[in-house]
Structure 1
């Protein structure tokens, strides 16, 4: 009888501890395991994740106003308040069954409610939270991955970016290009020190479909500024080349910085990996 009681007690302890063990929880977005310095955890039977996971991997903009957290996308806006179950969803008040809270200088929010509000599908299986976000479509083709290529003095690197939110965000920035211009007389991966007004390629962004075929390729170029200023008058500093349409546009430095910030976030969160490196 004592052995039976001990066995039942041990089973009960394991059953109780398992759901609340935050270390066993894994978060996947678009089949990618999300890297985070603070693990998701369960509170009141709801999976809570650090706010940064939402802002960087689901494509939501974040604003703070006192103790309020404002999350917004093109389609929806959610206003949460720390330690309050009341949430404002697209202007309408609703009640959560758990509250956002602050822990170890990290703000935790309920992942299912927010993800589904922003049009994502959420599934929970075997201690893994799976979130599927809305994919990017270009010319009616679903984008599976983004290949980013850049060259150095000797060789080049190709990185593969996963995650629909990253694809959507980057493509949106590329669409904010400036005026259309004529193609430069000289442009390549290499610096040309003989021709004023020459451009060298900063990076190549290739949006790929399910068959790994390019749907749209967008290349960024920078003006070779190794010449006197008087020889460079009238030349834009940055250009964007739509390769498939062979069209050239003025691009801006702040757009380039936004692209780089997204690339950095994708790398830090596990959505970007190197698939080729020929740098010597």
Structure 2
């Protein structure tokens, strides 16, 4: 009897193990590889690697092993045959085989052609991302401005159910310039640290023109000017804004001081479903606009340009409206970041809309005020009050 019980337990263990492995393979991710970096982003979390993405002959090469891991391939399903110089990746019933120096690769024994061949650099196999990503059901986007390859899937948004928003998960986030972590207060009053995947940054334009028309290099004087305006010493300002906590931009639209925060992890922390946010390296799209999964706002990278798609509910006709954000959507290390100024706030603007009274994409909540950036302390509090 004991042997039978042990056999049943072992069988169940194997079933659950296989289910667990299958679940890992079935996960869909967003991954970002930036040229020259020995790390990549997977779902807003930084992962290190012993290789770096590079460009050769106009093509961007990513390390095959880490691309597979970023897409959700189990490490045991990434194999290398040193004799045949062949790499094999398997996930969800799809097996890919790539051979060094050959432009033919195989998908479940079906021969396919590439316009380049995989190569070895510093002991790692590289190839352009799209051949692996598309075979596993992903899309690939290259952003030349940010030198980033973004691998993503088409989302299937959750429907708010004709209500402007989703259940609230948090009421407050406090973020300090130069920190990668936000302190989140959840709906029950508990606090935790959220890894945003990228440092929050004070962003300033490189140059500005003074009243006399003279062009000033703001990057060289802003600490002194802030010290005067805030009645602080320059050394005190440097304590608040050490190296790595601010970013000087040559983008002429970024000439207003603002704190920039990573949008996606913070929006998810407040309750926007992961499935309702899509980032493809060029556009940040947030679904759920006007109470329907068919409505969305789409914002262009490194620009204030945005587009609202109205759904065909509540008398809507499915039309689109051109609009703009207060600050350009900044992309740092492939991650989309939105600006929060001292009197205007793109983060809340993307979550809230005025419609009679203030309704939120997060059901049952209103914004307390525009979220003021505390310049003197280098901290931005995002506060949302439940009804």
**What band does the TM-score fall into relative to the shorter chain?**
0.3 to 0.5
- Normalising by structure 1, what TM-score? 0.39
Identify which of structures 1 and 2 has the higher relative contact order when contacts are C-alpha pairs closer than 8 Å and 6+ apart: 1
